[in-house]
Amino acid sequence: MSNRHRSPGPKPHPFERKGLLYTVYFVLRVLVVLMLVAAVFNQNYENVALCVLTLVLFMLPSAFERRLRIELPDTLEIIILLFIFAAEILGEIQDYYITFPYWDTMLHTTNGFLCAAIGFALVDILNRTERVSLNLSPFYMAVVAFCFSMTVGVMWEFFEFAMDHFLHFDMQKDTILNAFSTVNLDPNHGTTAIMVDGIQDVILVMEDGTQRALGLGGYLDIGLIDTMADLFVNFIGAVIFSIIGFFYVKGRGRSRFAPRFIPQVLPEETSSQEE
């Protein structure tokens, strides 16, 4: 549960906060600024853009709190900040996506968990608002949170595919396989899938007739395995929090874990004074 003291005055700037949240915010911001300066000196303007984007994303949680009149628990806010830093700075600039094969998997699992928490909070807030005639059971609230998380995950995969297809990025990382099955090799031109295994390499035949062996040690799958793996771990994260949220509502007030991830609406008197 959030350890911040709610006061009727306006919410302080992140640098004025105390405790672990202040420390994490300050350290991450300093690290990003240092990387920004290094990127400017190295004339790596792509990294400069990523650093600026990261600094902007760092400000969004506080901006959403003020705009939507909600309070993000410290634990949730810290995880969001670490997630942004891990994805943009460590993943893209420091090449953790390539250095650590499961880095992307870890981030997608965390994304599924966080998005389920946000989706659950949206429904929970509406459920507890007298002005909205909505009264979902704990089960349906968990289902809504799960669907919200999976929808966000699918939309992100759409974005990755669009970047790869239209701008020729490689956001959907390739996977090396040694076997696959396809109906295109059916000698009868039917729908019988033919298994091809023991693949050791891929040879590129260019338009001018030249050939080049890639030395990959297998067949190059361009994104399908990566996409399905991302959606699967997103599914795992969404299921985990949906279950946590279900029991949180069933035993309202008795859980100490779930409130660390569920935003709360500020009291009306607090909102009016901030306004």
The domain locations on the chain are 14-172+230-274, 175-221
Question: What integer pLDDT is reported at residue 6 of this predicted model?
Answer: 45
Question: What integer pLDDT is reported at residue 191 of this predicted model?
Answer: 92
Give Cα 77 distance to the centre of its chain. 14
User: Which helix (H) or strand (E) segment is 211 a member of?
Assistant: strand 211-213
For residue 141, give the nearest of 1, 3, 258 by alpha carbon.
258
Residue 38's φ and ψ, nearest 5 degrees, are: -60, -40
Residue 36's φ and ψ, nearest 5 degrees, are: -65, -45
Per-residue pLDDT of the chain (275 residues; tens, 9 = 90+): 444 444 444 444 444 445 788 899 999 999 999 999 999 999 999 999 999 999 999 999 988 888 878 888 899 999 999 999 999 999 999 999 989 989 999 999 999 999 999 999 888 887 777 666 677 888 999 999 999 999 999 999 999 999 999 988 888 888 888 998 999 989 998 999 999 999 998 888 988 889 988 888 888 888 899 999 999 999 999 999 999 999 888 876 677 788 888 887 766 554 445 44
Question: What integer pLDDT is reported at residue 271 of this predicted model?
Answer: 46
Question: What integer pLDDT is reported at residue 108 of this predicted model?
Answer: 96
Q: Which two tokens stand for residue 106?
A: 């870890």
For 85-202, strand residue ranges (E) read 175-177, 179-182, 194-197
Beta pairing, strands 219-221 & 211-213: unpaired
Question: What integer pLDDT is reported at residue 4 of this predicted model?
Answer: 46
Question: What integer pLDDT is reported at residue 235 of this predicted model?
Answer: 97
Question: What integer pLDDT is reported at residue 9 of this predicted model?
Answer: 46
